[in-house]
Structure 1
């Protein structure tokens, strides 16, 4: 039976805050007055104004509780019912227009309970408007219900006074069993979500982060909902406990409940038809349209949900787009693309710059006895058409997975790899360095594209979009001895000796064969182990090409960093070179902190500072992110040299100008080859007869696709390569 209670009509609009939660000497409006920062001076209605309001079919439980500004015009208030304390700003006789919606300023045909209303607002046919503070030039039209409760949390994972811990909202990220849950909060960055979802055994650290969130907001009851200046909300059914920033545009939504919707004049958020959003945070600049369903979620700045997408118990990073499909229990770093109705993502940590094709199912937990599996994919994850992956799986940076139903869990350590499921031979096939050999165009263009599309207004975290970065290059460095061992084992399997080989001798043989590009390597069957949870073979192909590419990449990387970050520096200055190449960190692991790359040592120090009370709030923690960002260019460059020295066995103290000159010369060759590969990998599409057959001739093809020579990215890349080579030539002349 529905429990319906009866109260005197005279109390409607009053006692918003239970008296037991009111501070001594405070009335129920004390928080409302704190929230409303208007400078408008309000006054009581005069007798003629009340007479005019009554003539216009308006009603009030007490006209003395209606306060207005001096510029109030009673002619612009018609057929409204007022209860409780209502304050109304100026109303002037003109109309507002937005996207061809033209309506006169004023309050019409609405039921208004205890609200503050700004200047020149339009409220028309709002059946129930309760406990909101409404900004200037706001348009509210055709809304069934718009109300705020005294215990509203606006999507934040906090507990108000008098509430039990059970009501706290959690996001159950990365794992369906809730073991990595985090409490969302307004302003939560992807780095915050990642850090909180990890380190689960460090109870002090976990408790500190929850404490930061709880302390971020006032837990007193009685805060009103707010609608920022110039918001447009029309044709919407239910709005409950929602805080709107300025300039938001809401049209045709079904239900918005327990939300903070950030929006600004420079980054307006828009929510469209048939959307239902419950228990979430929407950051500035987001767009949500056409039947989206989102529950227990957080959308970072400039992200999009469209065309029936479902986002549940998940964090969607900035500059990301999800259309049509379903995403559950996932933590997604910035610049993720997922556009297809039949793709599914569940219980995953996707570390950015990712793209999921149609039919991709990254979410099969049914190979476990419980729904507790996880997938971790490094930056640049790209599952192709109809890919099905099993939990648990772990994939290195810039892994592309070819079409197929992968029967077992994967653990792929080699970056830039193409993973294939060879059903005919019942083998898993891994091609490392695939991108550099076959699709440099896509690899380079994506880095450029993601950087260009970063529309964040406040860049608290310095996001890395380049494929040449500490996370990927550490994996490249670690791949070198791994490939040497695989090659050495393959050789001795084909040509066994009487004497048993040590690991060191196996690696040495592999290094010898790969470094010399020995023809015998192409005759070897190179197999890995432990990369798939099955008994079938794991074949590694194109290993000479990958080894050569990775070795060249390691030598090019520090020169690239120098030209990228120190283009104005005097590189012939030996002191500068010493500063960059001395006292280097170990070529150690870096942490992908929500798209921002941070040395593990710095990350460990941050955690220690949180636990020891050096960092005491999310603001202070975000300030540390900025410190990391300011130090990134130098740290990345030093790390690049550390990787190069480690691979070549160079003692940094002994590094000299001769070696530096050789590194510069090699970098020119490698950069030129990269540029040529970018062009040729795109040119293949123009030379393919099966792609050309749908066009009458080359002119029509170029009219539809654009001429290859006019490709803006290729032109930019060619110019940048020419500039790079000229810069290196000039430097070599000066040395």
Structure 2
């Protein structure tokens, strides 16, 4: 039988026979005049329970409910319940105290010591209730421990929201308007909520909660002052020993195995587990954090940090990052106060036992070799390997390291993130490609720097000016600079060709006619990574203007604007690639210029496939890979072969297709 949500007029008081049956079953009702039910109602399904305040039960009829192999009979028993609305066909067992909650249909709640809502509960939101002082507003202190980038959290907060609010602190009117919007959009309440078909079992203390539908909570220790988004398509799970206070969780999250978090916002499909300690953080979509400590950080999507002794604090990580075991990113302040920060572009990878000082800044896809780095760093060269060379007493940087020496990992990571995106309803377009407008801009800047440091362009190794890249007087060596220059140019050419390719295939030369016709009006755009979504800076400035003016009056309006950005991103990206092409050519490209571009693209695509094969084949050719095998046959049975590697074969096939596409467009533009 289907139980629906009844209207107020469908509730009724109990008949004398129903009252008699309830009392006979060992129940106690403080005031019969405030006890209401909807039909169908079977009073024999309620036993040994005390009711007080206003009670509304939507309907109960005999049925057995199953969850995780356990079968329970619908009904209420062995509980104390005060001022609650109880959805139809619920299972309630052994609630020592339950007060001020609305329970959705089909919920299963059992063995809970206390579950209640306090007056004026805010459910993790950074709002002011009517009559409260501004000092009562709660903020999460992102990026900076001193709190001067504090952001009031709210349900549905995205990475772009957190970035907008924490980054533009000099814009006081924007800050004021965002607080007003949040206060209008959300409110406190004296009643908590639990959505339909939610399962909660074996918990100690549940206070001030708004929980979505189909959520699974088992064995939690303390859940307090939270909004937990969950649905049938994207259920959230909370497991044994967890302690969560003052937070917001997005849909599809998993918080398990003793994780502890306070003052936080989780986007969708975030996993916290294995004793993690998290505080004052925003964690982006599809991130996994375990076994470590993370504090005061704004983390964009696809962050991985799951080793037992890593530490991250006071940082802005712009996505697709990975912290290895023993990495200490934070706490080493070079200041009289804990007010320094670390900012890193996409693809930030500090290696084993890396220790970094704040403040520091890193270009996209910086790989940091094992070591304790004694001074602050400002690494402007993307795709670099950074090494603290203690033997020679210097800092070594190999620019374009990923492209030249580990193409397999570089290409695979881009595919991996796209394949692992578990969002059912994406709220932002995330850029997974390692060659995109943000990295293209960094590559152009890196080429300019290399030209400044070596105007001849001939040096294979050179030195950066002291005190510029590292806050010290020791040498900073740029190794394999000539190879890096070549790699950066190849990356730019490939970015241009692969970005323009779909439009040229669709529109032919007509695409070119719709683009800026001279180099003066076709400068590459300035781009901002807004929580994993790449946006031209001018659009972010316009967004700020519209918020300040009141044209965008709510978070839904702001989010709709971000959705519009998604739709225009491909065209903006094409315009950016076109501007890069004009810079390289120095003028509007003629037919030979187009031929050079797509001939180079064919060669680079072949190079990508070859380097993917070459970099992965090192793992199979290394003689030390054989030491744990009795013979070659055993090794092949366990590891396979390079020619049988599925990803290598996939890239070979895709490269063949791309080469044909490049060749076809090249013929079209003759």
Q: With structure 1 as the length reference, what TM-score do the two structures score?
A: 0.88
For 1:292 and 1:38, locate their aligned partners in 2 and report how far apart those are by CA, in whole Å: 38
User: What residue in structure 1 maps to residue 650 of structure 2?
Assistant: 716
For 1:234 and 1:452, locate their aligned partners in 2 and report how far apart those are by CA, in whole Å: 33
User: What residue in structure 2 maps to residue 577 of structure 1?
Assistant: 512
Tell whether 2:87 aligns with 1:111. Answer: no
Show CA shifts across 1:616-675 (max 9, x none): 111111111111111111111110121232133x223xx222211221111000111011
Compared with structure 1, are the counterparts of its residues 368 and 38 closer, same or farther at alpha carbon in structure 2 (3 Å cutoff)? farther
Show CA shifts across 1:189-243 (max 9, x none): 0011011111111110111111111111135x53x21111110000000111000
- Asked whether the equivalents of residues 65 and 72 of structure 2 are also in contact (C-alpha less than 8 Å), the reply is yes
User: What residue in structure 2 maps to residue 349 of structure 1?
Assistant: 316
Q: 3-state SS of the aligned residue for 1:114?
A: strand
In angstroms, what is the RMSD of aligned CA positions?
1.6
Q: 1:560 aligns with which of 472, 490, 498?
A: 498
Whichever of the two has the greater Rg, that structure is 1
For 2:581 and 2:393, locate their aligned partners in 1 and report how far apart those are by CA, in whole Å: 38
Q: With structure 2 as the length reference, what TM-score do the two structures score?
A: 0.96
User: What residue in structure 2 maps to residue 485 of structure 1?
Assistant: 452
Q: 2:542 aligns with which of 587, 605, 616?
A: 605
Q: Post-superposition shift, 1:427?
A: 0.4
For 1:729 and 1:554, locate their aligned partners in 2 and report how far apart those are by CA, in whole Å: 18
- Asked whether the equivalents of residues 174 and 180 of structure 1 are also in contact (C-alpha less than 8 Å), the reply is yes
User: What residue in structure 2 maps to residue 200 of structure 1?
Assistant: 169
User: What residue in structure 1 maps to residue 116 of structure 2?
Assistant: 147
- Long gaps (5+) in structure 1: 1-35, 488-506, 514-520
Tell whether 2:613 aligns with 1:679. Answer: yes
User: What residue in structure 2 maps to residue 617 of structure 1?
Assistant: 554
Tell whether 2:234 aligns with 1:267. Answer: yes
Compared with structure 1, are the counterparts of its residues 452 and 408 closer, same or farther at alpha carbon in structure 2 (3 Å cutoff)? same
User: What residue in structure 2 maps to residue 23 of structure 1?
Assistant: none
Alignment of 1:144-543 (within 5 A): 144-218=113-187, 221-222=189-190, 224-487=191-454, 507=455, 509-510=456-457, 513=458, 521-522=459-460, 525-529=462-466, 530-543=468-481
Q: 3-state SS of the aligned residue for 1:356?
A: coil
User: What residue in structure 1 maps to residue 29 of structure 2?
Assistant: 60
Q: 3-state SS of the aligned residue for 2:118?
A: coil
- Long gaps (5+) in structure 2: none
For 2:51 and 2:247, locate their aligned partners in 1 and report how far apart those are by CA, in whole Å: 31
Q: 2:13 aligns with which of 34, 37, 44?
A: 44
Show CA shifts across 1:85-141 (max 9, x none): 111122222211111122111000000101111111000000111011111110000
- Asked whether the equivalents of residues 334 and 359 of structure 2 are also in contact (C-alpha less than 8 Å), the reply is no
User: What residue in structure 2 maps to residue 549 of structure 1?
Assistant: 487
Tell whether 2:608 aligns with 1:651. Answer: no
- Asked whether the equivalents of residues 368 and 387 of structure 2 are also in contact (C-alpha less than 8 Å), the reply is yes
Show CA shifts across 1:9-39 (max 9, x none): xxxxxxxxxxxxxxxxxxxxxxxxxxx9644
- Asked whether the equivalents of residues 477 and 647 of structure 1 are also in contact (C-alpha less than 8 Å), the reply is no
Q: 1:630 aligns with which of 541, 559, 567?
A: 567
Q: Post-superposition shift, 1:697?
A: 3.1
User: What residue in structure 1 maps to residue 599 of structure 2?
Assistant: 665
- Asked whether the equivalents of residues 528 and 539 of structure 1 are also in contact (C-alpha less than 8 Å), the reply is no
For 1:187 and 1:299, locate their aligned partners in 2 and report how far apart those are by CA, in whole Å: 9
User: What residue in structure 1 maps to residue 526 of structure 2?
Assistant: 589
Q: Post-superposition shift, 1:705?
A: 3.5
Q: 3-state SS of the aligned residue for 2:410?
A: helix
Show CA shifts across 1:154-188 (max 9, x none): 11100111222222210000000001000000000
- Asked whether the equivalents of residues 30 and 53 of structure 2 are also in contact (C-alpha less than 8 Å), the reply is yes
For 2:244 and 2:419, locate their aligned partners in 1 and report how far apart those are by CA, in whole Å: 29
Compared with structure 1, are the counterparts of its residues 127 and 436 closer, same or farther at alpha carbon in structure 2 (3 Å cutoff)? same
Answer with 406-415 or 57-66: which moved more: 57-66
